[in-house]
Amino acid sequence: MSEHQPTWLTQEAYDRLSSELEYLLTVARNDIAKRIQEAREEGDLKENGGYHAAKEEQGKIEARINRLEEILANSVVGETRESHGVVEQGMVVKLTLNGSELEFLLGSAEIAEGSEIEVYSPDSPIGQAIMGAKIGETVRFFAPNGKEREIEILEVRNFTG
């Protein structure tokens, strides 16, 4: 296994994620705490659907806060990279995998928020296999099911959002 890659973000993506984190920490956390307190005051918690729904939402908010803090703490912020025909994080990659053509952004889903493009993590088996590969190269890797797969890199280009 390779070590974890930092998350590459454009300045716009970094700012958007920072704003979301600030909102979750200052507004959403307080709102859900109030809803939980109000539901507690209604009495029996065993059959209090509002309480359980609020606690579930609180868990989702806390998970998102943790994820955003991790991304922002381990990110590299920069301009859209220029493609040099080498697979790197933040690039759109077109390849063939066992005869089928795939196209995706290699990076974090947060970079592509609002875009229709599929996103693969650089830490995924495919991401690890193709990182550093050049256009025209063929690489092999073992899928999670243990089968060996072959990938040919067809195109590497900038992600424009």
Q: Which of 77, 100, 122 is the last residue of a domain?
A: 77
User: Which pTM was predicted?
Assistant: 0.63
Report which of 75, 72, 127 is spatially closest to residue 97, judged by C-alpha positions. 127
Indicate if 52 and 17 belong to the same structural domain.
yes
| 68 occurs within a structural domain | yes
Radius of gyration of the chain (CA): 20
Q: Domain containing 28: what range?
A: 7-77
Which one of 77, 107, 125 terminates a domain?
Answer: 77
Pairing of strands 75-77, 138-142: unpaired
Question: Which of the listed residues 16, 43, 77 is the one where a domain comes to its end?
Answer: 77
**Predicted pLDDT of residue 95:** 95
Q: Tokens standing for 33?
A: 């705490």
Q: Is the dihedral of CA 14, 20, 21, 23 positive or negative?
A: positive
Query: Tokens in use for 11?
Result: 């300045």
In a domain, residue 98? The reply is yes
Question: For the chain, what is the domain count?
Answer: 2
Judge if 54 and 99 occupy the same domain: no
Residues in the chain with pLDDT < 70? 1-6, 79-83, 161
What CATH number corresponds to the domain at position 122?
A: 3.10.50.30
Instruction: Find the CATH number of the domain harbouring 17.
Output: 1.10.287.180
* pLDDT tens track for 90-130: 889 999 998 899 999 988 777 777 778 899 988 889 999 99
Query: Based on the domain organization, do 26 and 51 belong to the same domain?
Result: yes
